[in-house]
Structure 1
Amino acid sequence: MNLVNMQRKHSSYLLAFFTSVALMSVGTARDLRDVTEPKIPPSCTTLKASGGDDTETIQKALDSCTKGKAVALSPGVFHSGPLNIPSGVGLVVDTGVTLKAITDPALYDLGAKTCGTVDDVGVGCKAFITMLRVTGSGLYGKGTIDGQGNVTLIGQKKSWWDLSEEALVAGTFQNVPRLIQINNSADITMYQLTLIDSPFYFVTSIETNGFTAWGLTIIAPASARNTDGIDPIGSQNVTIAHCNIRTGDDSVAIKAMTAPSRHISVLNSHFGHGNGMSIGSEVNYGASDVLVSGLTLNGSLKGAHIKSNTYRGGHVVNITYNNVCIVDVKNPIYLEMDYVHLHGNRTPEFRNIAFNNIRVLSTGIFILQGLSDSNPVVVSFNDVHITKGSRWSRHFANVTGTWEEDASGHCGYAGNE
């Protein structure tokens, strides 16, 4: 029996029941904070670019700044090595400012002298900007932070991105820095910035409670490997709002490697080339209570992508997609429990995944792949419209609801028009 015939045989009371459950889940499937547009804190000092290495000047100003205030950079080009943002302090990179990460692997090395190499581990570098065990810190302004992933490294004849390609060919891992890393922190804000050309992941929040990314523009070429936009990892109460992201990997990837990820909102955003809106594949501790609302996916390889396997598996539950518009995406909806065929003893569980008010304005391949009859993907569709001629691949999937092959019109900037 094909999917269209199957869906039409669902009884109306089952649809009504599942829809009511999905609507109730929206109440908790979100950031539980009352998040509003951030404000840039007042400045404690304003710095001018030296034309050389500004690391020491910026770090000294950050360390001496009063909590509740921020170090502001004057218009110009600043060059810096790794920076640490103290608790309660901000850094303002405003209009006319570019903060460039110096491309010297020695500055980022964690002690093993492996940063700027490839090996079997790939964890030899510190990030360009780090927030570690801090509260109320942030990065603000309409300026640009440039990771210089495409620039030749000091002392080498290759760039950070060249190392990534080298690792791909060798089947190893590149030791390159993330652009911004937030660890074990609370109430962190990133506001308005443009982030470009990260060597590796752009922004990761690890085991952090309360993280707002508002109005960010994140850009890397589609060919730049492992340049995830924003990755909440083992974090909770996260809002990603009004962001424009186009990279060489996942625009957003919610992961749960070391702790649960839950109460996450992705709102009113636009994702271009890359791998779309992802959950997984590392969900060992569970990903839950996620709301994706007001999202346009235009030109990415995948749209709504939930991925795991028995090596990295855990529960992925209470996930709601509302008002999502998808165009020129190969796999508009891709839910898979056997991602890259890695196997172990951590069985994934995908349930209470709801798609409401979805428009897919180009043909694509929809994939729903569970593990077995006893462990299927459990998903509902309500007010879902796709393009005629699309194909479905369905294995071990418990599908409730209907969709129509009548999609038309245009996507809005963030969701349906």
Structure 2
Amino acid sequence: MAFYHQSTLSTHLVARWLVLGLIALSVVECRRNLLFESYATYAAINCRKHTAFLTDFGGISDGKTSNTAVFQAAVQNLSQVADDGGAQLIVPPGRWLTGSFNLTSHFTLFIQFGAVILASQDAGEYPLVESLPSYGPGGRFSSLIGGSHLTDVVVTGDNGTIDGQGSVWWKKFNRKKLRNTRPYLIELMYSNQVQISKLILIDSPSWFVHPVYSSDIIIQDLTIRAPVDSSNTNGIIPDSCNNVKIQDVNVVSGDDCVAVKSGWDEYGIKFGVPTEQMIIRRLTCNSPNGSVIALGSEMSGGIKNIRAEDITAINSQSGVRIKTSPGRGAYITDIFVDGMNLQAIDSVFWTTGSYGEHPDLGFDSKALPVVDRINYRNVVAEDVKMAGNMSGIDGNPFTGFCLSNVTIGFGTQQDNRLWNCTGVSGVSSNVKPEPCDVLADKGPSDCEYPPDPVPIDVLELNTCSFSTIG
């Protein structure tokens, strides 16, 4: 097989990569010679010294021939140059059928426009893997694209497609014919410096993008599509992750568009890794069976310092929904939302302390979650059934809610109660219609929104490229 070395105008080290407290790492910025149209460019956390095409390894793009072994061999081969500037594997136009394969460090998977990675519907192409330690025992199928303990990994393209062909899995799940958790589309575990961008993702068997136990993550410029009646097709699920940016993502799915998680009951409590330091920006959502942003329900490692701004949704259950229950323990705190434009929403503000659903009978019902310092400001919603459906836990109230500059209009299916507030407390300012007494008006004032950026939000991507001809 052949490697194609990149030609560059200049290469220099840029101390830009920020890790858990603005620790700078050196990254290489590659600038391409753009004199010829045969060069494609893209933005990435790091550029690569070596380039190969899937066809170099014998890939067949007829949409019928399995390329699982081809993808696996390509990644294994390219992992040998990880310490020599890394490699990028280019998936050219065509329909590339494959089962599960894993990525490697210092590696870019680039899916060109017109290329479709087509997920096999053969369950035998997805080996069973160990359960996630923060969720307890139970078998699960490997994800279509996976990886563990990686550093510096990019999955990107110029609006190439990953098609999960999930319908066969949805039918089996709905008929209760599956004993193991369905494959996710992309799952990266115990990894850092992760980028997933500029792709079209459709019809995942279950969750679409699941970074777990990972840090320093950029997820942006994605289009995610699944039927609105497909089960558990959550869009993006950061799970026990730190320092995350989710930006310019459009989701239509059968469940929550973004679901922030950190483990389940006693297993999540024992594992003890929170999700924190996250910015969600310019998210658009359509999910009548899910929320635009869900916090929980699996949140037993804790969720803290989550920011969301410029959020748009139509036909969804709620703007931001907090889901927890006795047995979860941990906390959901320091949540900041600035700017939501919502249309056809069941409840703009939805909080529940009785979500239930436990992995087994081993949970501790006395492990009560703390919910505090939840801030919403600059919210406009139309065609709403209920302004707020907010409930804590009896004897364990949820505190510190702040609502400011909120205008809500109701549709023809308006609930008889505009607000329902039990076991919660907080303040409000300029909220219409007037909220519950427990969210008393504090006069003209804005709810808090942090002025300092999440560290990952400061990172500037590099301009990388490759020759489109061999």
What TM-score do the two structures reach when normalised by structure 2?
A: 0.71
Aligned to 2:336: 320
Equivalent residues in 2 for 1:152-167, closer than 5 Å: 159-167=168-176
1:275-310 superposed Cα distances (whole Å, 9 cap, x missing partner): 121000111111000001111021112221011001
The 3-state SS of whatever aligns with 2:188 is strand
User: Which of these two proteins has the greater Rg computed from alpha carbons?
Assistant: 2
Aligned to 2:278: 264
Aligned to 1:9: none
2:366 counterpart (320, 345, 349): 345
Equivalent residues in 2 for 1:238-253, closer than 5 Å: 238-253=244-259
Residue 234 of structure 1 aligns with an amino acid whose one-letter code is S
- Structure 2 Cα separation of the partners of residues 309 and 360 of structure 1: 27
Q: Contact 1:240 / 1:267 at 8 angstroms: preserved in 2?
A: yes
Q: Do the aligned partners of residues 354 and 32 (structure 1) sit closer, same or farther apart at CA in structure 2, a change above 3 Å counting?
A: farther
Q: Do the aligned partners of residues 246 and 121 (structure 1) sit closer, same or farther apart at CA in structure 2, a change above 3 Å counting?
A: farther
Which stretch of structure 1 is more off in the superposition, 304-313 or 57-66?
Answer: 57-66
Q: Are 2:70 and 1:57 equivalent residues in the alignment? A: yes
Equivalent residues in 2 for 1:104-183, closer than 5 Å: 104-110=122-128, 123-141=139-157, 142-150=159-167, 159-167=168-176, 174-183=180-189
The 3-state SS of whatever aligns with 2:75 is helix
The 3-state SS of whatever aligns with 2:141 is coil
Q: Are 2:406 and 1:379 equivalent residues in the alignment? A: no
2:317 counterpart (298, 301, 318): 301
The 3-state SS of whatever aligns with 2:384 is coil
Equivalent residues in 2 for 1:11-410, closer than 5 Å: 38-39=43-44, 41-42=47-48, 44-48=51-55, 49-50=59-60, 51=62, 52-65=65-78, 66-67=81-82, 68-110=86-128, 123-141=139-157, 142-150=159-167, 159-167=168-176, 174-257=180-263, 258=271, 259-273=273-287, 274-275=289-290, 276-340=292-356, 344-365=365-386, 366-372=388-394, 375-387=397-409, 391-405=418-432
Give the C-alpha shift of residue 341 in structure 1: 7.2
- Structure 2 Cα separation of the partners of residues 309 and 149 of structure 1: 31
Give the C-alpha shift of residue 173 in structure 1: 5.4
Q: Contact 2:129 / 2:142 at 8 angstroms: preserved in 1?
A: no
The 3-state SS of whatever aligns with 1:137 is strand
Q: Contact 2:403 / 2:431 at 8 angstroms: preserved in 1?
A: no
1:124-143 superposed Cα distances (whole Å, 9 cap, x missing partner): 31111112100101211111
- Structure 1 Cα separation of the partners of residues 94 and 398 of structure 2: 55
1:381-415 superposed Cα distances (whole Å, 9 cap, x missing partner): 111111156711110111201243379xxxxxxxx
Which stretch of structure 1 is more off in the superposition, 232-241 or 368-377?
Answer: 368-377
- Structure 2 Cα separation of the partners of residues 144 and 41 of structure 1: 21
Aligned to 1:21: none
Aligned to 1:16: none
Q: Contact 1:369 / 1:377 at 8 angstroms: preserved in 2?
A: no
The 3-state SS of whatever aligns with 2:140 is coil
Q: Do the aligned partners of residues 341 and 69 (structure 1) sit closer, same or farther apart at CA in structure 2, a change above 3 Å counting?
A: closer
Q: Contact 2:94 / 2:115 at 8 angstroms: preserved in 1?
A: yes
Give the C-alpha shift of residue 109 in structure 1: 2.7
The 3-state SS of whatever aligns with 1:329 is strand
The 3-state SS of whatever aligns with 1:281 is coil
Residue 305 of structure 2 aligns with an amino acid whose one-letter code is D
Q: Do the aligned partners of residues 111 and 315 (structure 1) sit closer, same or farther apart at CA in structure 2, a change above 3 Å counting?
A: closer
1:17-65 superposed Cα distances (whole Å, 9 cap, x missing partner): xxxxxxxxxxxxxx9769xx94384561122441311122222222222
Residue 341 of structure 2 aligns with an amino acid whose one-letter code is C
Residue 243 of structure 2 aligns with an amino acid whose one-letter code is N
**Identity percentage of aligned residues:** 23
